[in-house]
Structure 1
């Protein structure tokens, strides 16, 4: 009995390899890459806005969006007569982050080539990334807020999140907490539901300023004070 033949026969017409190639081809266009990068800020964008950021005519935008939709990279949300587009999920954001890291930081170089403003602090879909995020993660580890490996918050960590006002979702189907490898720092920052809750808190308390369409995060004067007091991050 040839197990390889059985496995091959059981595969659907669109094999894993073909599906991967289709996704790669969908990404492999400068205009579509520009759209995907814009959607990394976590917002929903209109086709007109995406055509502007990609620098293409509105008449050609629908074809690009259809390509991204058909390959599961984005979703279309309808509200009344308006249509909005956003990334299909955190996994797609993670894929794009990885591609950015491979492109900007060649494996042969030990020196980060990430633009300084992005390396300092940026959003990664729904959580914070960059140098500041790594420092926050290190603080949480040192203070015992995280279980070994960063798979969950400790009781002390949950208490501190409650004290800060970071609302966790006990019914979330995603990971409650996880260690995400930061592609610019090559160290871990906080992901999962806890990471999203922390970024939401920073926004609600106006500790950060984010320009729509850009991933760069700027800490306000209040935010810098909070980073020092709450997370021991000096001179953010």
Structure 2
């Protein structure tokens, strides 16, 4: 498909508005939000938020799911999330002064769309690679037999994800994702998403409302130390 400079500018304008950017950053945690919740995140009136959200839906950036009387907005596709993550990686490189102490919690552990990112995610990935549980390939990563056994022990979501190995494209199943603050890969794909779900289910992590930040609980600190040799 031939893309024009006009379509490129249109996408940049669509995601570059400050209010819309704030909404998109909130949606990068992989959850769906109502218009009123996103209005609070962006600091705008509900009517203004509705206008912004309509433009994002019409532009194919967001999709809407209706449940009862409520309408929830979410990122339309994983491709949109990858685009936004790429912008975040570039912006952190172009503006290193943003990496301040105020961002330390976000840098430690956060959601990158549906999987875990940050210092701890990179350290966990390093441990899995060093232990031979993961093997990086050109466009995707492979879970070894020892890796499958180890990951299954971490929770039901991971056990279920590993059963999908032969039904998904390799790059969708398991891959590395370059971390926008650490500049090294963390685990992504279905396996990475299931790992975050398992950590949340085990109460090793908890979400922060309206933010991508993930808080590491005391049981999580103990589990990460014993399983992945990570110290707080």
TM > 0.5: yes
Distance in 2 (alpha carbons) for counterparts of 1:16 and 1:83: 33
Distance in 1 (alpha carbons) for counterparts of 2:78 and 2:135: 23
1:113 pairs with 96, 99, 106, which one? 99
* Aligned partner of residue 147 in structure 1, secondary structure: strand
Distance in 2 (alpha carbons) for counterparts of 1:64 and 1:201: 34
Describe the shift of the 1:81–1:148 C-alpha distance in structure 2 as closer, same or farther (beyond 3 A).
closer
What is the match of residue 195 of structure 1? 192
**Greater CA drift, 189-198 or 152-161:** 152-161
Describe the shift of the 1:193–1:16 C-alpha distance in structure 2 as closer, same or farther (beyond 3 A).
farther
How high is the TM-score relative to the length of structure 1?
Answer: 0.86
What is the match of residue 177 of structure 2? 180
What is the match of residue 154 of structure 1? 144
The question of whether the paired residues in 2 share the 8 Å contact of 1:76 and 1:85 is answered with yes
Distance in 2 (alpha carbons) for counterparts of 1:127 and 1:148: 18
**Greater CA drift, 130-139 or 34-43:** 34-43
Distance in 2 (alpha carbons) for counterparts of 1:92 and 1:185: 21
User: Structure 1: which 4+ aligned runs deviate by more than 4 Å?
Assistant: none
* Aligned partner of residue 144 in structure 1, secondary structure: coil
Larger radius of gyration: 1
Distance in 1 (alpha carbons) for counterparts of 2:168 and 2:187: 16
What is the match of residue 45 of structure 2? 57
- Equivalent residue pairs, number: 221
* Aligned partner of residue 123 in structure 1, secondary structure: strand
1:220 paired with 2:217, answer yes
Superposed counterparts of 1:47-126, under 5 Å: 47-106=35-94, 113=99, 115-126=103-114
What is the match of residue 129 of structure 2? 141
1:231 paired with 2:219, answer no
1:80 Cα deviation from its structure 2 partner: 2.4
Distance in 1 (alpha carbons) for counterparts of 2:6 and 2:144: 43
Describe the shift of the 1:112–1:228 C-alpha distance in structure 2 as closer, same or farther (beyond 3 A).
farther
1:19 paired with 2:19, answer no
1:177 Cα deviation from its structure 2 partner: 0.6
How high is the TM-score relative to the length of structure 2?
Answer: 0.88
**Aligned Cα root-mean-square deviation (Å):** 2.0
1:129 Cα deviation from its structure 2 partner: 0.4
What is the match of residue 40 of structure 1? 28
1:49 Cα deviation from its structure 2 partner: 1.1
1:28 Cα deviation from its structure 2 partner: 1.6
The question of whether the paired residues in 2 share the 8 Å contact of 1:41 and 1:124 is answered with yes
Q: Could you tell me which runs of 5 or more consecutive residues in structure 2 were left unpaired when the two chains were aligned.
A: none
Query: Cα deviation per residue 1:210-229 (whole Å; 9 max; x = unaligned)?
Result: 11211111111111111111
Query: Cα deviation per residue 1:3-62 (whole Å; 9 max; x = unaligned)?
Result: xxxxxxx85xxx443332221110121111111111112111111111121111112222
